[in-house]
Structure 1
Amino acid sequence: MIDRPRGFAIAILLLGAAMPLAAQQAPALAPTPAAAATSAADASEARARALAIVAEMTLDEKLLLVHGLFPPKTKADPHGELIQSAGHVPPIPRLGIPIVRESDASLGVANQIEQRKGDTATALPSGLATAATFDPEIARAGGAMIGAEARAKRFNVLLAGGVNLTRDPWNGRNFEYLGEDPLLAGRMAGAAIAGVQSNRIVSTVKHFALNAQETGRMVLDARIDEAALRESDLLAFEIAIETGRPGSVMCAYNKVNGDWACENPHLLTDVLRKDWGYEGWVMSDWGGVHSTVKAANAGLDQQSGQELDHAMYFGAPLAQAVASGKVPMARLDDMVARILTGLIANGVLDALMPEAAQPIDYDAHADVAQRDAEAGIVLLRNEGGVLPLAATAKRIVLIGGHADVGVLSGGGSSQVRSVGGAPVEIPLTEGAAASFARVTWHASSPLKAIRAMAPEAEVTYVDGTDPVAAAKAAAGADVAIVFATQWTTEAEDADSLSLPHDQDALIAAVAKANRDTVVVLETGGPVLMPWLDKVPAVIEAWYPGQRGGEAIANILFGAVNPSGHLPITFPAAASQAPRPMPVGRDVLAGAAEAAANADAGSAVSPVSFKVDYIEGSDVGYRWYEKTRRTPAFPFGYGLSYSDFAYRNLKVTGGATLTVSVDVTNTGAKAGADVPQLYVGHGDTPMRLAGFRRVTLGPGETQRVVFVAEPRVVADYDVALPGWRIAGGAYRVAVSHDAADRSLSAIATLTPRIMRP
């Protein structure tokens, strides 16, 4: 594992960025979906204004903008300009360029180890919870809320917009991201970015690209072929940039096919600038820069958190490189113009920041977080109709998970110090995350919320540390609810997909003592469930955020009908995944041992290793279909207290695949459903090509129309280069989840090619 310097606990404030999509240069190929023409015109106007400012700048002023610092801890700040956070870039007042203040913000305005004493913010549920809503409007509302709080706290760049696909179920940052499918992740990330930027501040999109595991993230070389990368991780970024038009893109720590992501000319210039027409700026992840000349010429525009790099590459060394011609002055001008374009296009140069922190309606913002959590909680199992809990239950026991005081949150740069405080906060004493992460609960008590839902019942809590005592308490209750937790964090991958601290044994003991046992999972991703057939009801609550306790209670008692659907496959065994454990642990352990045994002052060669992504573009549910493996729960899966039927499928082919279907709520309770469109060609696994969240009353029917995303239907052809839809027959299914093929048809499509 790569440890972070203890003096730079904030160092983790690494996240992503991106900018408004410019007019895309179209070769003699049909265009892919792009931003509206007015958006391209706005970006062009911002670029022209940026170039006019660059023409007035001195060399020193240009260099000032292309590297960012951690705000120094100093008392010599009479105007309160410096805020302890992820970073800042000094202002240039004579040109109207304001100070740039950056904050981590994937799940809320972060303040991980309370570098800003007493500053709290609203905590959204984890990214996987938001993705489980399958609702871009919910993602946008969350982004808008975070952006509003950031602006009130005087930040104008948020390191949000995480869109890295889940390739491995044990990845420590899975909880921050939006699942395994490029269409779902791209649309949800784009919506969240647009919400953030509606506050006239910049959001990034991150981490570009293939930052898929935390083990060795600073040194690993991610290997994948071009077509597979375009059809998976890059497609998620492309869709997010089109829909959200982020002001900045943040490049990743790792290498991609041999080059560091932050000095990778193929990613930063060929793909991002030339193919996608992106006009914003590329900032590095904190500690992700390795050179001056190569990085600048490859397309990196800004060195972030320079204290974490081996050198200040974009300071004096960049000035020398420009003077010698190794980096053309035109390239430096472009770097600065791209930074200014991102700021101008999102109103940062024109929307003056408040001189002091502004009041925030935290109650209203908590409502946003609660709605997100309620829509993203997934009902995985409900045998015998155990849920919703009957109002007649008189004795309810809650077991484990600190459910008496709060709900768990994930660790790392996305950690939010939420309103209400942290009832449980456990410092780490070892590991790569120890300098900047703590195991933390948000102050939203499920016990308190359940007591409010069942005021006539006797609701008690036992901590679950003693399975025998827990089983005894469960035996005397009408219902036993076990809160099982798995804490994950940035900088470390999960050691196992099993629940830690013998919680599997606890659940088994409780289930044996009480047949009406409900398990509530608060996890960073999939976990194994050896007790599944012994437990009648299971819900996946993820890390449910600021109002997680209330959201869980509402789901349990039916005040809210569950409607979340899995954005990630839950394997039945670790061996089902492409990689059963993190790659490179043995390499890093050997390097650590060599360093420990080295003579004082002697050099130890830097360690690196390759991660071969053998699944290619068949990420997640596609891998399971390709290898004919049956997971515990497939992508897209989710139960409800209602039932939904799909009927009257109609498919129209030709140049565009259009599919329509009647969705009917056949149950007795109003609820929401997510019909999903899957498309396949030949023997390739089927791919999610459309989805729609619909809310229906009992007996109500709605006609849902899908227009399939053409890049999902297509394959990437490196010989064009571009996207190719082969003519002929395509398999089409409207499904409840990725394994459902009960309503299917064949569509005939005409050949089509699209630019990259």
Structure 2
Amino acid sequence: MTSQIKARFGLRLLATTALIGAFALTTAAHAQTTNAPPPAPTVRTDVPADRPWMDTSLSAEARAELILKEMTLAEKLQLTFGYFSTDAKWSITPIKNYVFPKEGLPYSAGFVPGIERLGIPNQWQTDAGVGVATQTVPEAARTADLPRGRTALPSGINTAATWNPEVAEAGGAMIGNEAFLSGFNVQLAGGMNLMREPRNGRNFEYGGEDPLLAGIITGHEIKGIQSNHVISTLKHYAFNDQETNRNQMDHQIEDKAARESDLLGFQIAYETGNPGSVMCSYNRVNGHYACENDWLLNQVLKTDWGFKGYVMSDWGATHSTTQAANAGLDQQSGWAFDRSPYFHGALREAVNNGYVSQERANDMAKRILWAMFEVGLFDTPVKGDQATTIDFEKNGKVSQTDSEEGMVLLKNTPGLLPLSKTAKSILIVGAHADVGVLSGGGSSQVYPKGGSPVADEYGKGFPGPKTWYPSSPMKGIQARTTAAVTYVDGKDVKAAAAAAKKADVVIVFGEQWTGEGFDVPDLNLPNNQDALISAVAKANKKTVVVLETGGPVVMPWLSKVGAVIEAWYPGSNGGEAIARVLTGEVNPSGHLPATFPASLDQLPRPVLEGDPKLDSDSHPMSNYNIEGAAVGYKWFDKKGYKPLFPFGHGLSYTTFALSDLTAAAEGKGVKASFSVKNTGGVAGKEVAQIYVSGTGWEAPKRLGAFQKVEVAPGESQSVSVTVDPRLLATYDSASKTWNIAAGDYKVMLATSADDIVQTVTVHLDAQTLDVRGK
């Protein structure tokens, strides 16, 4: 969500006076005889006679229908209009015509009033995918007296790098619980956009470049959040894959390519997580804004996939009333960012005049109510701010586990990592590693309790402030070694190199801050850090580089350093996580969820499309048909490019042997079985990857399945996985079917997209599957 920070406070917000009304009830069972006729509807004695929709034995669909019959048109439409909910006192300058929503929670993303007389709860909305974010201005956030400090997960791309759905779901459950205890029942999480553009400033929020991996990981995050009776979104739907001109850019892509790439990722995430809401994005797709795009919303999402929940706009992504409503938008969110309150009086007028049908108005309200019943907003209502009950220590460990499992060991010279216990001196250089770890910027920003240990280095407002979590890698290393550990900031390259000569081991921390609202100009580390790393590595061959970045970066110094770890943005306990991995307390097991290019020349669009100086009424176009469905490693395979590091790559402090691959047709897909053996000396986790190859595809191969396997030294584990039939098929737009051609298919066992260990061939008969892959 969000555009420029000033937009948050320069527009009028309407006041609301709705109050909470909800009831928590238990489910009663009813008896049923085997040969008896179908029983009459159960009569719940604990259900208020005037509120039959509070019967929890009924489906969410039935409950929504019951309450809808009692609602006036004004009440139905009230659910479709959301307010921004940040207190004006945090404004940079005094604000006129600003009315804070009466029941809203301050410093939060939004508020939608409920209906007191019917017991429909208010919707309190919070950003975002890595925790309970706080919407405020940098001047306030720089102080230690923050409105709200919460636990931050590592970045979304870190969670994708775990390749572990259980870790993703546990993280989602943790931040969903903190949202609930903070008084929120809607969380704007579930970032799923594929990495078509590695310079995208929001890649850190998302799940990488592959639809299967990103869809499964995102879906499990959503499941975790919603297990706390908090609605999660799935966003940003769709093709919001860059920040430059995000409000104007028109991404062109054919239906077939879309269904086999980004939309397949969203479809898998939806099937896995069952989100209550989908958030449509800022950009245009094939000529129409995503939030008034009939193809995306009505045809693909609601008809083809059968989505029962509601579509909410991103903050500032609504552009019309009748067109948006008829094209499938159900809720205008954070209207202060839009040019007009399109779904307020204008929508009621459009319904009264027949431009939007009564049936459509009912459908909009019903979808919102369905999600509220399905996730449990009626039956387990939030009880206001209960932050004093949050177990920050426990939640920090959840975040730490995510960080440790997602950290990727990219390179390691034997004997360098884990850090030798014989080292007498360790020098740490750069990135404020003496006091904390970096986080990504924008609306997803989760502020730490007590404030950032580093003053804002951005200083330009949104998406700042540039924030660090007070978890020191240096202190974590000091606690785990007897070596003398010292720190230099690296601003003086010569001084850093001189200090490096005197140390047994050097650890250089490289950082790349990315955030919402801008894309990075290239993939180099900014602020002369590449030169710093080169100079330090020249002075000391035992140089380890730890990267805190939002996504892929190039490494002109790679051959000079001894080891490289990609730590992403590692979250609230990131310093501890980094220290544990460097010292071997934790064996790294992350694998890349995205290809690291060797240069920008290898990308489908070496020059980023869209002039950032264009005005808001411009209409630049971006051609996603260049690569079509061949995103990421598929593009590299298709073109024969050798990346810096391939998709799926990740090393360990132990070694593994993958063998005994067998595969056969099973059901509508393929079942593959294999063995994973730990051939090294310490316990570790391997990510075994199955790729499949057919004819007439967008690229030579696709990721078909994966499994993260933990194995003790000398032990073996047998693994079986199933390949989704859609990953063996091509999509036909005319018939809306997935079609598996008769013939031979290669099934490949691998440790990365570039490291195929074993290949077998499977013959498949021709099959036609429906639009949902059934």
Same fold at TM > 0.5 = yes
Structure 2 partner of 1:35:
none
Instruction: Give the drift of 1:606.
Output: 1.4
Say which of 77, 95, 103 aligns to 2:118: 95
> Aligned in 2, Cα 1:110/1:356: closer, same or farther, shift over 3 Å?
closer
CA distance in 1, matches of 2:174, 2:10: 23
* Structure 2 match to 1:82: 105
* Residue aligning to 2:514: 488
User: Cα offset for 1:43?
Assistant: 12
The equivalent of 2:428 in structure 1 is 398
- Decide which of 296, 304, 313 is 1:284's aligned counterpart: 313
2:706 counterpart (691, 697, 715): 691
**Counterpart in the other structure of 1:583:** 609
Name which of 643, 649, 654 aligns with 2:661.
649
- The answer to which of 710-719 and 195-204 deviates more is 710-719
What CA distance in whole angstroms lies between the structure 2 residues aligned with 1:45 and 1:514? 66
Residue of structure 1 aligned with 2:464, choices 424, 437, 448: 437
Alignment-derived partner of residue 746 in structure 1: 761
Asked whether the 8 Å contact 1:215–1:491 carries over to 2, the reply is yes
* CA distance in 1: counterparts of 2:404 and 2:532, whole angstroms: 26
What is the root-mean-square deviation of aligned Cα atoms in Å? 2.0
Of the structure 1 ranges 743-752 and 621-630, higher mean CA displacement relative to structure 2 is found in 743-752
> 1: CA distance between counterparts of 2:86 and 2:191?
27
The alpha carbon displacement at 1:194 in A equals 0.3
Partner of 2:380, secondary structure, is: coil
CA contact (8 A) 1:170 1:581 kept: no
CA deviation string 1:617-661 (max 9, x = no partner) = 010000000000000000000000111111111111364311111
Amino acid at match of 1:718: S
Residues 147 and 196 in structure 1, CA contact (< 8 A), matched pair in contact too: yes
CA drift at 1:373: 0.5
CA distance in 2, matches of 1:166, 1:616: 13
Aligned to 1:713: 728
Q: TM-score, normalised by structure 2?
A: 0.89
Moved more, 207-216 or 436-445: 436-445
Query: Which residue of structure 1 lines up, in the alignment, with residue 718 of structure 2?
Result: 703
User: How far apart, CA to CA, are the structure 2 residues paired with 1:622 and 1:212?
Assistant: 17
Distance in 1 between residues matched to 2:754 and 2:692, nearest whole Å = 12
Contact 1:127 1:176 in 2 (8 A): yes
Going from structure 1 to structure 2, the CA distance change for 1:305 and 1:43 (only over 3 Å counts) comes to farther
Counterpart contact for 1:112–1:417, Cα < 8 Å: no
1:527 match? 553
Q: Distance in 2 between matches of 1:457 and 1:645?
A: 35
How many Å apart are 1:443 and its aligned residue? 0.5
Offset, 1:57: 1.1
Residues 275, 682 of structure 1: CA spacing in aligned structure 2 closer, same or farther, 3 A cutoff?
Answer: same
Match of 2:405 in 1: 375
Corresponding residue of 2:622: 611
How far, CA to CA, are the matches of 2:740 and 2:629 in structure 1? 16
Deviation at 1:365, TM superposition (A): 0.1
- Give the corresponding residue for 2:499: 473
Q: For residue 39 of structure 1, what is the aligned residue in structure 2?
A: none
Give unpaired runs (5+ residues) of structure 1: 12-41, 593-604
CA distance in 2 between counterparts of 1:420 and 1:385 reads: 39
Partner residue of 1:573 out of 599, 605, 608: 599
CA contact (8 A) 1:43 1:341 kept: no
**Does structure 1 retain, via aligned residues, the 8 Å contact 2:85–2:110?**
yes
Corresponding residue to 1:621 among 633, 643, 664? 633
**C-alpha separation between the residues in 2 aligned to 1:418 and 1:270?**
42
Gap change, CA 1:173 and 1:632, over 3 Å in 2: same
Determine if the alignment matches structure 1 residue 222 to structure 2 residue 248.
no
Contact 2:85 2:100 in 1 (8 A): no
Task: Name the CA shift for 1:508/1:205 in 2 (closer, same or farther; >3 Å).
Answer: same
Give the counterpart of 2:487 among 461, 468, 473: 461
Matched, 1:725 2:736: no
**What's the offset of the Cα at 1:3?**
6.1
| 2:588 paired residue number | 562
Match of 2:4 in 1: 4
Q: Does residue 637 in structure 1 map to residue 649 in structure 2?
A: yes
Q: Is the 8 A contact 1:467 1:509 kept in 2?
A: yes
Q: Name which of structure 1's ranges 147-156 and 50-59 shifts more when overlaid on structure 2.
A: 50-59
Residue-by-residue CA offset, 1:563-600 (whole Å, 9 max, x unaligned)? 00000000011111111232112xx42x35xxxxxxxx
> Which of the numbers 105, 128, 149 marks the counterpart of 1:105?
128
Match of 1:541 in 2: 567
CA deviation map 1:665-686 (0-9, x unaligned): 0001000000000001126321
2:80 to 66, 88, 92: 66
Q: Does 2:521 match 1:510?
A: no
In the other structure, the counterpart of 2:335 is 306
Cα distance in 1, alignment partners of residues 278 and 598 from structure 2: 36
CA pair 44-412 structure 1, distance change in 2 beyond 3 A: farther
How far the C-alpha of 1:437 sits from its partner, in A, is 2.2
Alignment of 1:735 with 2:750, yes or no, is: yes
Q: Helix, strand or coil for the counterpart of 1:742?
A: strand
Q: 1:34-80: CA deviations, max 9, x gaps?
A: xxxxxxxx998212211221211112212211110012638999997
Deviation at 1:7, TM superposition (A): 4.5
- 2:176 is paired with a residue of what secondary structure? helix
Checking the alignment, whether the CA contact within 8 Å between 1:497 and 1:528 is kept in structure 2 is yes
Report percent identity of matched pairs. Answer: 52
Query: Compared with structure 1, are the counterparts of its residues 78 and 327 closer, same or farther at alpha carbon in structure 2 (3 Å cutoff)?
Result: closer
Output aligned runs, 1:308-323, within 5 Å.
308-323=337-352
- CA separation in 2, counterparts of 1:43 and 1:633? 52
Equivalent in the alignment of 1:19? none
**Aligned equivalents of 1:398, 1:356: Cα separation in 2:** 40
Q: 1:662-707, CA deviations, whole angstroms, 9 ceiling, x for partnerless residues? A: 1100001000000000001126321001000010000110111111
Native 8 Å contact 1:446 1:550 kept in 2: yes
d(CA) in 1 for partners of 2:730 and 2:454? 49
Q: For residue 66 of structure 2, what is the amino acid of its counterpart?
A: A
Residues 402 and 281 of structure 1: is their aligned pair in 2 closer, same or farther, counting only changes over 3 Å?
same
Specify the SS of the correspondent of 2:762.
Answer: strand
1:353 offset after TM fit, Å? 1.6
Q: Which amino acid aligns with 2:448?
A: S
Which residue identity lines up with residue 6 of structure 1 in the other structure?
K
- The aligned amino acid for 1:668 is G
Structure 2 match to 1:407: 437
Per-residue Cα deviation, 1:489-519 (whole angstroms, up to 9, x for no partner)? 0110001101101111100110011010000
Equivalence map 1:140-151=2 (5 Å): 140-151=169-180
Of residues 672, 675, 700 in structure 2, which corresponds to 1:662?
A: 675
Counterpart of 2:122, as a letter, is I
Separation of aligned partners in 1, 2:62 and 2:552: 48
Task: Give the corresponding residue for 1:361.
Answer: 391
Correspondence for 1:273: 302
Question: Which AA in structure 2 matches 1:522?
Answer: E
Residues 1:672 and 2:685 aligned together? yes
Counterpart secondary structure, 1:403: coil
Relative to the length of structure 1, the TM-score reads 0.91
**What secondary structure, in the 3-state scheme, does the structure 1 residue paired with 2:654 have?**
coil
Q: Which has the higher contact order (CA 8 A, sep 6+)?
A: 1
Report the secondary structure of 1:491's partner residue: coil
Q: What amino acid is aligned across from residue 681 of structure 2 in structure 1?
A: A
Note the residue ranges of structure 2 that are not aligned, 5 or more in a row.
12-55, 90-98
| Whole-Å separation in 2 of the counterparts to 1:427 and 1:459 | 26
- Residue aligned with 1:228, SS: helix
Structure 1 residues 5 and 146: alpha-carbon distance in aligned structure 2, compared to 1, 3 A threshold: closer
Partners of 1:576 and 1:568 lie apart in 2 by: 14
Shift in CA distance, 10/342, structure 1 to aligned 2, threshold 3 Å:
farther
CA shift digits 1:694-722 (9 cap, x unpaired): 10000110111111011111111113221
Preserved CA contact (<8 Å) 1:193 1:246: yes
